[in-house]
Structure 1
Amino acid sequence: MSALYLLIFASLIVALGFLGAFIWSVRRGHFDDDYTPSVRILLDDNPEDTN
């Protein structure tokens, strides 16, 4: 039964670590740009001169 308590405690520590990393990344602005990735393939990297 003590192994079960140890596994529950370890899983809570890992879950809190992932939650902390997610909150840190949201506060740093890693998820701010949600428009550009969806249209990046449509943008032309090297526009050709048509003249």
Structure 2
Amino acid sequence: MSTGDTAAMESFSLHCNLGVLNTKRWASGEELGIAVITWVERCDHHRR
């Protein structure tokens, strides 16, 4: 993994924590997984 890859993952992790993970207590891993996928799709679509 290159330095750029590491920086990208750290940035993603930070934004995911602020945007999804820390917003509420999740009932299940499946619920959290769906929320993360939805968040990524919404952010990715917004940037295009």
| Structure exhibiting the larger radius of gyration computed from Cα positions | 1
Q: Which has the higher helix share?
A: 2
Asked if TM exceeds 0.5, the reply is no
State the TM-score, normalizing by the size of structure 1.
Answer: 0.41
State the TM-score, normalizing by the size of structure 2.
Answer: 0.43
Larger relative contact order (C-alpha < 8 A, sep ≥ 6)?
Answer: 2
